Amino acid sequence: MSPQPQAAVGVPLSRVDGRLKVTGKARYAAEFDVDGVVHAVIVDASIGRGRITGVDTRDAEAHPGVLRVIHHGNAPKLPYRDNPGSNNLPGRRLRVFQDDKVLFHGQPVAVVVATTLEAAQHGASLVKVRYEAEQPSTDLAEAKAGEPTEYARGDAEAGLRDSAVRMDLTYRMARNHHNPMETHATIARWDGNKLTVWDKTQWVVGTQTELSTVFDVPLDSVRVINPFVGGAFGSGLRCWPHTVVAALAAREMKRPVKVVLTRKQMYFGTGFRPRYEYRLSLGSDRRGRLKATVHEIDAETSSYETFEEAIMLAGQMFYSTPNVSQAYRKVPLDVNSPIWMRGPGFANASFAIESAMDELAHRLRVDPIELRLRNEPAEDESNNLPWSTRRLRECYTVGAREFGWHRHNPKPRARRDGDWLVGLGMAAAVYDPNNMEAHARARLNADGTAVVEAAASDMGPGTYTSQTQVAADALGLTMRAVTFRLGDSLYPQTPPHGGSMTMMCVGSANLDACNKIRRQAIKLAVEDEASPLYGAKAEDIVVRSGRLHVQGNPARGETYQRLLTRNNLTHLEADGSWSGPQDPERHSYYSYGAVFTEVGVDAALGLVRVRRMLGVYDCGRIVSPKLADSQALGGMVGGIGQALLEHTVTDHRDGRIVNADLAGYLVPVNADIPEIKAIYLEGEDMQADPLGVKGVGEIVQVGVASAIANAVFNATGRRIRELPITAEALL
Amino acid sequence: MSTELPQSSVPPPTGVDEPSSAPTRRTFIATTTAVGAVVAGGVIGGTLLVDDEVAAAGAPPESRVSLTVNGTRRTVTVDNRTSLLDLLREQFGLTGSKKGCNAGACGACTVFVDGRRVNSCLTLAVRLEGAEVTTIEGLAEGDELHPLQQAFVDEDAFQCGYCTPGQIMSGVGCIQEGHTGSPEEIREWMSGNICRCGCYVKIVRAVEQTAARK
């Protein structure tokens, strides 16, 4: 942070864009009023694998309002240049309408463009596609895995052999879909060789580079605009085929085209959190100190790309373990490619590891928190680096006190409330916040207002608000005087809005830009004979509410307005950047948490209800406490969904997803959520970045599913090792 | 847990005996047929074929409808397949009502029709002759936010904001209906509106406080 007084950072302010959102005036991708726009509806493959033998478009094209049907038989060949540095996965990305191959059920095979949405929808139902179908392979349990990614230290097999206690456990986790409330959508418009798209994305720059490479047009010929993102949770981390379809159709039609995915299309038109099987063997001494762990991990990927996520790190660094061996196998299936989803990797690894720790605690009759404390490592044993900050013990202490963990009875089925068996459970959480280069540009106007721009996104955490807070304090302005702009590829580049890195990376770049401007202004003042600050020491000057003054002597000073106007300056401007910690090799950076929950399980029906939940987090400095609190509660709700409801079901006969809607794919509704609570430990991690933040958005979903599974065990004596935990599993 | 099919947040209408704006079972079915464009297909000898029986389409029927939206009387010609939601979003430029599922399962499209909350994605525009429609854009009095809109801002009862207009319309309905006796009752009567960002605790708080102020 700067030497500036903190008037905005750390203060529980309401959202700066709140009014736009509660009045319906915030515009999301599909809502831009683009002159002459026509509607396009995608036709999805109705087989799980094979080839297209014919596309009959006559009825569709005869339908009033339908302008054209585009498919592989009449679509232009697209360059699809490589796009290194993007979030495209290793492999060969899906190329829309470029050949007759069907790689998964739901793959786009045609698009119907019409003057109205109704005509396009009906037209899509009239396109007759003939296929030669093959049997798809979509079952993780049946398919053959690819080459594993491996990790080893010590001798895990020997460690297991020599352990007094050994447990071999298999955990399974269902495929999950992000299901943001806004479905993905794109409006594309070509002006000559220049392409503008309004696209739902967590990374306008990512969509920009993808379209530039797919169509082989210069990067600066593509502009991507997306000021509001109606949730995403990872689904917007890469550019999906429908965005290319929109741009392709717009070029063919020579007019703007809008594509809005249906809810159903979200299940195969965007990615998902893959299904996992996680086999964990652990060995400990009689006091529960881990000697060895072996992690055998299988996860879904597509036949054309290899999806990987940080599923292995938790097993390497979280508990002190001399001997570790891991094998992470990606299993190619006839499905579309997965993508990162909230708490990527860690949310799944923690279900296995934190459930297993609970099983070990029960077996050894040790309190689950005590067992974890006995395995607390002094350093990161995967790289022998010291922790930047690791306040996990404090998370346990605060959580146990606030939650009332002393009421935890280690004996299962010990507490009953009417029909309900009641149990308590806890789990630890960890996340590795990502870190990438980011830029921002700030401008201080002579009227005392400021604008900061970055090609960042705000899918809900409150980027607009928290970045305004950072800028306001660094510039010494009120919140009202600062405008933060994002969601436009014309702005300075930022990394994807995910991996808990927006606050750290964009925030640090923003801080850098604003600090530079403040210093410029201070330098101008102390060197300006007409300024009351002339001759003062630059380091003694602070700015409050747009007025520069000597610290401790508020009378000696002047406003930005006076200073700039007197010097005939319309504005001051600066670019800021962030490229990671100064010395990343010196510390191990993670955010931490502990989740406590009480569940009720209907003894007769097996229904599970969360009765209360508390999350305690060590995430460094909290810039925007009111919004960070909402984010934590939201992550916990997401975790409740992962634990008890969310399960994408595939019919393995033809690769069709059978519950591709919000009636069959259950997510938590209001009645599922009791009073839940989050606490952030006060403090900052100044090793991590100049703001002292470690990111919030991902870790808050980690540990929730395991805490619930552990509470279900405590309530019922039944150990459920498969997500979601259903009534069927408990009966 | 909600293991049942999510229901519309609208209680089933009773005693509807005239063509009105009320969402009847028939409206629901007709809308589902019109909006749910699905390719019919079947497996024949290992090859999937689209149903050849799909009728060649004629010109879609259109109708003239006069309705009042946020106090403004509008007369429009609509394709009979058009939902109220698509009429609002695509033709009137009122994009505050959101499309989350287009199947009545998420509540993002909630508006008032004749004072009652309905899922506008399941309401055919052609059935709304003479109806009074209120959307999120019509809730505030000029610059002054409706108390529930203000409570949503104050309580931070949203994150991405996409479900928010529907939550607020539904919340206003919930308060008007008197289903705010306890947090449990509010949770139940607000469960037709999904918030994927998970702001439920604060949505309940906002509704509860606004109801208490009345």
* Count of structural domains, chain A: 2
Indicate yes or no: CB of A634 within 8 angstroms of CB of B93: no
Which chain B residues are closer than 8 Å to A116 by Cβ?
A: 79, 90
Put simply, whether B202 touches A (Cβ < 8 Å) is: yes
Indicate yes or no: CB of A635 within 8 angstroms of CB of B198: yes
* Count of structural domains, chain B: 2
Put simply, whether B24 touches A (Cβ < 8 Å) is: no
B38: closest chain A residue by CA = A125
> What is the average per-residue pLDDT within B127-133?
98
Task: Give the start-end residues of each E strand in A497-647.
Answer: 541-544, 547-550, 553-559, 571-578, 591-602, 608-618
- Identify whether residues B106 and B66 lie together within a single domain: yes
Which chain B residues are closer than 8 Å to A178 by Cβ?
A: 196
Which chain A residues are closer than 8 Å to B202 by Cβ?
A: 630, 633
Residues 32-51 of B with CB under 8 A from A: 34-35, 37-41, 43, 46-50
Give the per-residue pLDDT at B13: 37
Nearest CA among A273, A292, A272, A297 for reference residue A282: A292
In sequence order, what are the beta bridge partners of A169?
A280
Inside any domain, residue A520: yes
Give the per-residue pLDDT at A405: 98
Asked which of B138, B162, B195 is the last residue of a domain, the reply is B138
Nearest CA among B151, B103, B102 for reference residue B5: B103
The closest CB to that of A131, out of B2, B47, B186, belongs to B47
The closest CB to that of A24, out of B103, B105, B136, belongs to B136
Inside any domain, residue B46: no
In the numeric block, which tokens belong to residue A133? 């179908």
- Identify whether residues A523 and A599 lie together within a single domain: no
Examine the pLDDT at B56 and tell me if it is beyond 60: no
Q: A633-679 pLDDT, tens per residue? A: 999 999 999 999 999 999 999 999 999 999 999 999 999 999 899 99
Number of A:B CB contacts under 8 A?
A: 260
Higher model confidence: residue B43 or residue A68? A68
Distance CA A650, CA A268 (A): 11
Examine the pLDDT at B212 and tell me if it is beyond 70: yes
- Identify whether residues A535 and A630 lie together within a single domain: no
We report the CATH number of the domain holding residue A725 as 3.30.365.10
- Identify whether residues A428 and A473 lie together within a single domain: no
The closest CB to that of A18, out of B137, B153, B187, belongs to B153
B46: closest chain A residue by CA = A133
How far from chain centre, in Å, is Cα A475?
30
- Identify whether residues A566 and A606 lie together within a single domain: no
Inside any domain, residue A549: yes
Inside any domain, residue A635: yes
Inside any domain, residue B38: no
Distance CA A686, CA A583 (A): 12
Asked which of A518, A546, A578 is the last residue of a domain, the reply is A578
B151: closest chain A residue by CA = A22
Q: How confident is the model at residue B16 (pLDDT cuts 50, 70, 90)?
A: very low
Distance CA A717, CA A715 (A): 6
Residues 103-162 of B with CB under 8 A from A: 103, 105-106, 108, 135-137, 139-140, 145, 149-150, 152-154, 156, 158-162
> What is the average per-residue pLDDT within B196-213?
97
Which chain B residues are closer than 8 Å to A660 by Cβ?
A: none
Which chain B residues are closer than 8 Å to A54 by Cβ?
A: none
- Identify whether residues B151 and B134 lie together within a single domain: no
The closest CB to that of B162, out of A53, A182, A233, belongs to A182
Indicate yes or no: CB of A130 within 8 angstroms of CB of B145: no
Put simply, whether B30 touches A (Cβ < 8 Å) is: no
- Identify whether residues A518 and A649 lie together within a single domain: no
The closest CB to that of B197, out of A41, A183, A460, belongs to A460
Identify the residue whose tokens are 């063919």: A252
The closest CB to that of B54, out of A21, A126, A462, belongs to A126
Examine the pLDDT at B44 and tell me if it is beyond 70: no
For residue A446, what are the CA distances in angstroms to A442, A563, A572? 13, 8, 8
We report the CATH number of the domain holding residue B197 as 1.10.150.120
Which chain A residues are closer than 8 Å to B8 by Cβ?
A: none
Indicate yes or no: CB of B160 within 8 angstroms of CB of A635: no
Q: How confident is the model at residue B25 (pLDDT cuts 50, 70, 90)?
A: very low
Indicate yes or no: CB of A181 within 8 angstroms of CB of B97: no
Asked which of A525, A555, A578 is the last residue of a domain, the reply is A578
What is the nearest CA distance from B170 to chain A, expressed in angstroms? 12
- Identify whether residues A542 and A647 lie together within a single domain: no
Inside any domain, residue B66: yes
A458: closest chain B residue by CA = B160
Asked which of A548, A578, A608 is the last residue of a domain, the reply is A578
Strand ranges of the sheet holding A676-680, from the earlier edge strand across to the other edge:
A416-417, A420-431, A591-602, A608-618, A676-680
Which chain A residues are closer than 8 Å to B102 by Cβ?
A: 262-263
> Exposed, middle or buried by CB within 10 Å (0-12, 13-18, 19+), for A56?
middle
Inside any domain, residue A128: no
Examine the pLDDT at B117 and tell me if it is beyond 70: yes
Query: How many Cα atoms are found within 13 Å in the side-chain-facing hemisphere of A589?
Result: 26
Number of H helices, E strands in chain A: 17, 30
Indicate yes or no: CB of A661 within 8 angstroms of CB of B145: no
Domain extent, residue A541, equals: 18-26+436-578
Whether A698 is catalytic: yes
User: What does pTM read for this prediction?
Assistant: 0.93
Give the per-residue pLDDT at A180: 98
Which chain B residues are closer than 8 Å to A630 by Cβ?
A: 156, 159, 197, 199, 202
On whether the CB atoms of residues A677 and A70 are closer than 8 A, the answer is no
Inside any domain, residue A399: yes
Inside any domain, residue B12: no
Inside any domain, residue B45: no
Asked which of B115, B138, B161 is the last residue of a domain, the reply is B138
Asked which of B138, B157, B192 is the last residue of a domain, the reply is B138
Give the per-residue pLDDT at A2: 60
- Identify whether residues B160 and B134 lie together within a single domain: no
Inside any domain, residue A307: no
Q: B132-160 pLDDT, tens per residue? A: 999 999 999 999 999 999 999 999 999 99
- Identify whether residues A612 and A499 lie together within a single domain: no
Query: Strands A50-56 and A128-133: what pairing?
Result: antiparallel
Domain extent, residue B179, equals: 147-213
List, for chain A, all residue ranges whose pLDDT scores fall below the cut of 50: 1
Examine the pLDDT at B38 and tell me if it is beyond 70: no
On whether the CB atoms of residues A505 and A494 are closer than 8 A, the answer is yes
- Identify whether residues A611 and A666 lie together within a single domain: yes
- Identify whether residues A399 and A420 lie together within a single domain: yes
Inside any domain, residue B99: yes
Higher model confidence: residue A22 or residue B17? A22
Inside any domain, residue A675: yes
In sequence order, what are the beta bridge partners of A380?
A385
Inside any domain, residue B23: no
Helix A241-253 and helix A204-215, axial crossing angle in degrees, nearest 10: 50
Indicate yes or no: CB of B98 within 8 angstroms of CB of A182: yes
- Identify whether residues B119 and B153 lie together within a single domain: no
We report the CATH number of the domain holding residue B107 as 3.10.20.30
- Identify whether residues B195 and B134 lie together within a single domain: no
Inside any domain, residue B42: no
The closest CB to that of A644, out of B1, B96, B197, belongs to B1
Give the per-residue pLDDT at A580: 84
What is the nearest CA distance from A456 to chain B, expressed in angstroms? 14
- Identify whether residues B95 and B115 lie together within a single domain: yes
Coil/strand/helix, residue A206? helix
Q: B158-178 pLDDT, tens per residue? A: 999 999 999 999 999 999 999
